[in-house]
């Protein structure tokens, strides 16, 4: 299967997970993710003044609200993507409160323009959505290559963590040179990496 065909199948599979199960799984994902040692401020001193890039979930994605709210409680600063559809690029914008968003491109909630842009070198951890992931730390996105492009500008020290429902872990993902590899993948069932 090529990327395009696989995206279709994986969209359908994720849609088939009932909402209440997705919500339950999202809570488990938040727990598994935040218990990971990269979120331990004592061990990852980087986090003290750097940002965690999160995304605001869209349609049937993992609900990231529990993650974002817990990060804020932990005193960790967050930023979220703002995409430029014409250029097919994205940038990171500081995200401090749930009221700071509006509906943007593709119907995705995005940050208001008055919040500051965050330099990629100030991001310690990037949490990525996706349609499929595998044990080789590969990711299938939605086809825009937004994260591949954005993260290609970063230094090696940014930790990249994919989050998804266990149903989204598959064996093979068609991969190209530009596809960024992840450091960890966190599901409701396991942590890979």
Ligand X SMILES: Nc1ncnc2c1ncn2[C@@H]1O[C@H](COP(=O)(O)OP(=O)(O)O)[C@@H](O)[C@H]1O
**Shortest Å, Cβ 97 to ligand X:** 29
Per-residue tokens: 115: 């919040």
Query: Cβ closer to ligand X: 156 or 178?
Result: 178
| CA dist., res. 6 & res. 3, Å (int) | 5
Separation CA 165–CA 130 (nearest Å): 10
Pairing of strands 132-133, 123-128: unpaired
Residue 129 interacts with which of ligand X, Mg ion, none, CB < 5 to 8 Å by class: none
Closest Cα to residue 178, out of 153, 144, 134, 148?
148
Distance CA 137, CA 127 (A): 13
73 near ligand X, judged by CB under 6 A: no
Q: Least distance (Å) from ligand X to the CB of residue 160?
A: 12
Site string for Mg ion, 110-149 (x = CB under 5 A): -------------------------------x------x-
Select from 10-18, 37-45, 52-60, 148-156 the region that touches ligand X (CB under 6 A): 148-156
- Which of 141, 160, 165, 184 binds ligand X (CB under 6 A)? It is 141
């Amino acid at each position: 299967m090529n990327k395009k065909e696989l995206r279709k199948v994986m969209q359908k599979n994720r849609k088939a997970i009932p909402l209440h199960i997705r919500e339950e799984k999202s809570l488990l994902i938040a727990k598994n993710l935040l218990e990971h040692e990269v979120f331990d401020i004592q061990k990852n001193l980087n986090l003290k003044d750097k940002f965690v890039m999160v995304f605001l979930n869209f349609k049937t994605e993992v609900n990231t609200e529990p993650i974002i709210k817990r990060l804020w409680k932990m005193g960790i600063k967050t930023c979220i993507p703002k995409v430029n559809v014409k250029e097919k690029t994205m940038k990171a914008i500081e995200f401090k409160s749930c009221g700071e968003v509006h509906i943007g491109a593709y119907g995705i909630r995005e940050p208001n323009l008055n919040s500051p842009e965050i330099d990629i070198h100030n991001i310690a951890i990037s949490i990525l959505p996706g349609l499929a992931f595998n044990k080789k730390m590969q990711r299938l996105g939605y086809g825009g290559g937004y994260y591949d492009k954005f993260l290609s500008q970063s230094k090696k020290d940014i930790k990249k963590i994919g989050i998804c429902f266990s149903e989204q872990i598959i064996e093979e993902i068609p991969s190209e040179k530009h596809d960024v590899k992840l450091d960890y993948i966190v599901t409701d069932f396991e942590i890979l990496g």
